[in-house]
Structure 1
Amino acid sequence: MTDKIMWRGFGVLLLMLLLLSSNVWARTDTLLYPLKNIPLLSGNFGELRATHLHSGLDFKTEGREGLPVICVKEGIVARVKVSATGYGNALYLEHEGGITTVYAHLSRFSPRVAKVVRNIQYNKESFEVDENMLGYELRFHAGDTIAYSGNTGSSGGPHLHFEVRDTKTEHVLNPLRFLLVKDQTGPNVRGVYVYPVSNEGLRTSPYRVEVKNTGNRVFRGGRVCVPAGRVGIGVQSDDYMKDSWNKLGVYDLSVSANGREVFKMIMNELSFDQTFLVNELKDFHHYRDSRLVYLTFGNYQEQLLSVCNQDRGFILVEKDSVVDVVVDLSDINGNRSKIMFQLWGKFPSLEWGLAEGEKLLMNHQSDSLKKGKYTLWLEADALSHPIVCKSVVYSCLRDSVETIEVFSTGKQIYPLMKSARLQVSGKFPEKSVICLLEKNKRFSALKTRWTEEGLEASSRVLGEYTVRQDTIAPVILYMGRAGRKIRFRIADDLSGISSYRVEVNGKWCLFTYDAKNRLLEGNINEPVFVKGKNRLVLKVEDAVKNIAIFETDIYKK
């Protein structure tokens, strides 16, 4: 009887394991690959980017455009978006099971889709469209070609951006939950940073902890002396997949202090509403220097769907005590790496004093910075943590010729989670704009509003600002014809191109616009062209309504 019970129990266990195994394979085999070639990634889900966490997978296309893009599961076209920036040409398909798939940076759509999109563009007299397509009943089967890969929008090179979304919530899901990509190597560990934090929440310059691989991807960093009090950990890490040189983001990252988990990140799901939190998860200043450092602490990190922590991820180090820290990292295939080191509270707690002219800005309070005619307002929770600023107005020489007046909020640029409102009081010439002063004294125009007091603009960083006057119209360069193609380059030196319109024989004509290459391109086979002479008029307007017009005759045989 005992043997029968034992074997019955073994049978039940085996059945459960088989069911679990079948569920895993069903999940990973749900979708086809969106390309026919061997899948290689140049970007993965949740990867740290300049202004966001990456919302999908970037598939390599061998540096080429025009590869067939495959419908990964039977579905219906729900949305089409055409834009000169962002996703460029993008296609959205809804599927049974509550998921939507997105295919972006496409060179062109399949003929069935392209015909509908073209009609919408002509009806709206607009190259850029964002259209709900469910009413058109454009259905595709798994394996059908729905589009062709490209490099449109803000793409930095030919590739396919692919997303999986929850149709109901519109949250983006990690596509590798539905696809299997070969990867046998755990994340790389390049270093660890320790961030002492004052009682006010101020972060001091981080200490870099050199770590050494002691075998089996276990990295050790020894004992680190820190001031007593709260400490945050930053991990410089990235990941690679087989046969690809591109650096990818980490999937799973956890930090434990004396055996207690204080931080956990698993990149399974993200919300577009949380884009502003990207700098809660990365060291902004290291990123500007091309180093990917994950922060495992922060006042607002728990708002991210992919993160949970204890005590906001901070580690408390008592005076003369030692804390054992363990960092675990892995990719979605379970390849792991581990970091081990100690924090020793050797020094007294940090004390902070303000120098003359400095101001402490608290993250949870609204505040303002004023100097002369400049006033910058901050909402509560615009900052991720307290910072010290010193507002100054100074003059500097630009291009060895021109002297400009600059309003500076401090020595460092700080990202904001909510836009700051900058007002410059006084009377200004027509077409004046507020600009952010970038590296090498380059101007980045902000969308400027005129008020009774003067000028006003919003900014997503604390930095340096100046006022410029944009009186120069956009530049139009006619590049001539190349076969059926008619090409222009259009550019604006300051406020940026706001709109363009091409008319042929007095009627609107479809021309595509590639903003990153400043390329405007049309086809002589568009229906507004007739045999013989055609009068083409191009009108380009910038953000402060400077207008450039170019006219020419185009002959069609």
Structure 2
Amino acid sequence: MTNKIMWRGIGALLLMLLLLSSNVCAQTDTLLYPLKNVPLLSGNFGELRATHLHSGLDFKTGGREGLPVICVKDGVVARVKVSATGYGNALYLEHEGGITTVYGHLSRFVPRIAKVVRNIQYNKESFEVDENMSGYELRFRAGDTIAYSGNTGSSGGPHLHFEVRDTKSERALNPLRFLSVKDQTGPSVRGVYVYPISNEGVRNATRRVEVKNTGNRVFRGGKVGVPAGMVGIGIQSDDYMKDSWNKLGVYDLSVSANGQEVFKMTMNELSFDETFLVNELKDFHHYRENRLVYLTFGNYQEQLLSVRNQNGGFIPVEKDSVVDVTVDLSDINGNRSSIMFQLWGKSPSRELVLTDEEKLLMNHQNDSLKQGIYTLWLEADALSYPIVCKPEVSSRLRDSVETIEVFSTGKQIYPLMKNARLVVGGKFPEKSVICLLEKSNRFAALKTRWTKEGLEAFPRVLGEYTVRQDTIAPVVLYTGRAGQKIRFKMVDDLSGISSYRVEVNGKWCLFTYDAKNRLLEGNINEPVFVKGKNRLVLKVEDAVKNIATFETDIYKK
């Protein structure tokens, strides 16, 4: 009898475990695809971008706009955001189970949502809105169409941006924990980089290690000589899925030294507070040259939810010793690649010697650079690691005619985890702005304000700066009518367009703005238009309050 009771208990326990496991599977497989077509990705979760870690999936739409976007699970519209940049037209839906889904770059909303948004825009007299929609009870069932795909905001081409977030924490979750895509290909391996680290923490000259595929996606790099001391590893890799040419990010990446794991990255969730840490995980300078190199070491990587490491991921290499390094990479479907090579310790690097003009900036302490009228302050932990800089002020021929004064922090641009404070002392003409000097001597105006000390801005990189005066108002080009559409182009050559307002017959009129294409567009069927002649007045203001006004008559039949 006792054995029967025991076996019944074991059977009940096994049944309960089976039910629990099936519930877990159901919880991770409860979402529909947000598009009806075969899911192909042009971007995946955790992918390294210029200024952030990608927080969702980018679904291809075949270069088309207007595809129906599907509610992936029963839910209610919690938020609507309309912007000329970022996600453009975006919807946020809350669902049972504690998740929120986000749909970005939409061309338009379904009428039930569009009517509410339009009323908000007219009440606030603003095209751009960011509205809590919890009071509107806009409920949708799984499979309902909620919007149509597009190319609004900062999108680089037609696609659908889709996210899954934890509603309570607002952390982004990897949507491929709730959806699946066909993928039989492991991450590619382009090469390995080694970063010898000086005693001061400065990264010395980086060396690229060629690797060879020896079969079954196992890559070998042989023995690599490095100065004895601490060494960091960078992996040049990306991922692909079947039938898509787009480079995707790696899901899982680990590094072991002599069998001990020193770095582990798994892209399951992200916090939007981590945005400033993206350059802890990628080589900033290689990225600017279109090479995607994952850094498996860093002084601040432990602040990333997706990463854990030992001693910052740095590998100690003693003189005349050999360290076996193994790197494992995989996508979320379990397709794997691996890299094997050795680090051989040679003589240590010579001590760091600075010239009179150079300065060592330490990452963990406050510091400043001063040259002439320029002073740049750095907070502690603004730098990822110590750097050697050489601040100077020089005159430079920008083109065949103009000479400009440039304040440079050194030969290379370095990203910052905290904004620096840059002050240019003295008196300047009205509407002067501090500019970052970019490639080909292009000016990128920084948000500038006047203080008792002079001009002040807060750059996010160490680079080259100059001061320009913006006295030219934005240029407004009326490109005419196309059917029911009325279109303008708005261009500003320096500080950038900060606001615009369209009035028809003295009343505010809704016009949509596409910042990337500089396109302002309205519809003659807006209620402020009447039959016959309509007086349209467009005012455009840039960041230093130069104003352009354009007036014309629009006739409606």
TM-score (norm 1): 0.98
Give CA-to-partner distance per residue, 1:483-506, whole Å, 9 cap, x none. 100000001000000100000000
2:346 is matched with: 346
Taking the aligned partners of 1:17 and 1:306, their CA distance within structure 2 comes to: 29
Task: Classify the secondary structure of the residue corresponding to 2:528.
Answer: coil
Task: Classify the secondary structure of the residue corresponding to 1:459.
Answer: coil
Compute the displacement of 1:20 (Å): 6.8
1:43 is matched with: 43
Q: How does 1:202-351 map to 2 (within 5 A)?
A: 202-351=202-351
Distance change (3 Å), C-alpha of 1:191 and 1:182: same
Q: Give the paired residue count.
A: 557
Compute the displacement of 1:348 (Å): 2.1
1:447 is matched with: 447
Compute the displacement of 1:157 (Å): 0.1
Distance change (3 Å), C-alpha of 1:509 and 1:99: same
Taking the aligned partners of 1:169 and 1:340, their CA distance within structure 2 comes to: 39
Distance change (3 Å), C-alpha of 1:436 and 1:120: same
Taking the aligned partners of 1:258 and 1:350, their CA distance within structure 2 comes to: 26
The aligned amino acid for 2:145 is: T
Task: Classify the secondary structure of the residue corresponding to 1:115.
Answer: helix
Distance change (3 Å), C-alpha of 1:358 and 1:12: farther
2:547 is matched with: 547
Distance change (3 Å), C-alpha of 1:287 and 1:13: farther
2:501 is matched with: 501
Taking the aligned partners of 2:218 and 2:237, their CA distance within structure 1 comes to: 13
Residue segments in structure 1 that go unaligned for 5+ positions in a row:
none
Distance change (3 Å), C-alpha of 1:338 and 1:6: farther
The aligned amino acid for 1:41 is: L
The aligned amino acid for 1:336 is: R
Compute the displacement of 1:508 (Å): 0.1
Taking the aligned partners of 2:332 and 2:388, their CA distance within structure 1 comes to: 39
The aligned amino acid for 1:535 is: R
The aligned amino acid for 2:134 is: L
The aligned amino acid for 1:95 is: H
Compute the displacement of 1:51 (Å): 0.2
Task: Classify the secondary structure of the residue corresponding to 1:312.
Answer: helix
Taking the aligned partners of 2:405 and 2:116, their CA distance within structure 1 comes to: 52
1:64 is matched with: 64
Taking the aligned partners of 1:174 and 1:504, their CA distance within structure 2 comes to: 46
Residues 1:515 and 2:515 aligned together = yes
Task: Classify the secondary structure of the residue corresponding to 1:114.
Answer: helix
Give CA-to-partner distance per residue, 1:148-193, whole Å, 9 cap, x none. 0000000000000000000001000000000011111110011000
1:186 is matched with: 186
Taking the aligned partners of 1:146 and 1:341, their CA distance within structure 2 comes to: 51
Compute the displacement of 1:24 (Å): 5.2
1:430 is matched with: 430
The aligned amino acid for 2:69 is: V
The aligned amino acid for 1:347 is: S
1:53 is matched with: 53
Compute the displacement of 1:144 (Å): 0.3
Taking the aligned partners of 1:322 and 1:20, their CA distance within structure 2 comes to: 48
Bigger shift: 204-213 or 146-155? 204-213
Compute the displacement of 1:515 (Å): 0.2
1:150 is matched with: 150
Residues 1:528 and 2:500 aligned together = no
Taking the aligned partners of 1:23 and 1:479, their CA distance within structure 2 comes to: 58
1:469 is matched with: 469
Residues 1:31 and 2:31 aligned together = yes
Taking the aligned partners of 1:314 and 1:455, their CA distance within structure 2 comes to: 41
Give CA-to-partner distance per residue, 1:338-390, whole Å, 9 cap, x none. 10000000222442111221000000000000000000000000000000011
Distance change (3 Å), C-alpha of 1:16 and 1:320: farther
Taking the aligned partners of 1:20 and 1:196, their CA distance within structure 2 comes to: 49
Task: Classify the secondary structure of the residue corresponding to 2:54.
Answer: coil
Taking the aligned partners of 1:180 and 1:17, their CA distance within structure 2 comes to: 24
Taking the aligned partners of 1:321 and 1:14, their CA distance within structure 2 comes to: 52
Say if 1:199 and 1:350, in contact at 8 Å, map to a contact too: no
1:490 is matched with: 490
Q: How does 1:347-496 map to 2 (within 5 A)?
A: 347-496=347-496
Taking the aligned partners of 2:301 and 2:272, their CA distance within structure 1 comes to: 15
Distance change (3 Å), C-alpha of 1:328 and 1:8: farther
Bigger shift: 314-323 or 21-30? 21-30
The aligned amino acid for 1:232 is: G
Taking the aligned partners of 1:286 and 1:5, their CA distance within structure 2 comes to: 66
Q: Considering only aligned residues, what root-mean-square deviation do their CA atoms show, in Å?
A: 1.8
Taking the aligned partners of 2:198 and 2:176, their CA distance within structure 1 comes to: 40
Task: Classify the secondary structure of the residue corresponding to 1:419.
Answer: coil
2:108 is matched with: 108
Distance change (3 Å), C-alpha of 1:187 and 1:23: farther
Taking the aligned partners of 2:403 and 2:321, their CA distance within structure 1 comes to: 55
Task: Classify the secondary structure of the residue corresponding to 2:185.
Answer: coil
Task: Classify the secondary structure of the residue corresponding to 2:116.
Answer: helix
Runs of 4+ in 1 over 6 A off after TM superposition: 3-14
Compute the displacement of 1:307 (Å): 0.4
Taking the aligned partners of 2:266 and 2:283, their CA distance within structure 1 comes to: 18
Say if 1:253 and 1:266, in contact at 8 Å, map to a contact too: yes
Say if 1:255 and 1:296, in contact at 8 Å, map to a contact too: yes
Taking the aligned partners of 1:326 and 1:209, their CA distance within structure 2 comes to: 14
Distance change (3 Å), C-alpha of 1:120 and 1:293: same
2:99 is matched with: 99
Compute the displacement of 1:138 (Å): 0.4
The aligned amino acid for 2:262 is: V
Give CA-to-partner distance per residue, 1:36-59, whole Å, 9 cap, x none. 000000000000000000000000
Distance change (3 Å), C-alpha of 1:233 and 1:5: farther
Taking the aligned partners of 1:295 and 1:414, their CA distance within structure 2 comes to: 15
Give CA-to-partner distance per residue, 1:204-226, whole Å, 9 cap, x none. 12111111111111111000000
The aligned amino acid for 1:414 is: Y
Compute the displacement of 1:10 (Å): 10
Compute the displacement of 1:25 (Å): 3.2
Say if 1:27 and 1:177, in contact at 8 Å, map to a contact too: no
Give CA-to-partner distance per residue, 1:251-287, whole Å, 9 cap, x none. 0000000011000000001001110000000000000
Taking the aligned partners of 1:546 and 1:13, their CA distance within structure 2 comes to: 74
Compute the displacement of 1:315 (Å): 0.3
Give CA-to-partner distance per residue, 1:464-514, whole Å, 9 cap, x none. 000000000000000111110000000100000010000000000000000
Distance change (3 Å), C-alpha of 1:10 and 1:209: farther
Taking the aligned partners of 1:349 and 1:259, their CA distance within structure 2 comes to: 26
Task: Classify the secondary structure of the residue corresponding to 2:419.
Answer: strand
Give CA-to-partner distance per residue, 1:70-127, whole Å, 9 cap, x none. 0000000000000000000000000001100000000000100000000000000000
Taking the aligned partners of 2:405 and 2:322, their CA distance within structure 1 comes to: 51
Percent of aligned positions with the same letter in both sequences? 87
Taking the aligned partners of 2:225 and 2:21, their CA distance within structure 1 comes to: 47
Taking the aligned partners of 1:400 and 1:327, their CA distance within structure 2 comes to: 51
Task: Classify the secondary structure of the residue corresponding to 2:340.
Answer: strand
Say if 1:227 and 1:350, in contact at 8 Å, map to a contact too: no
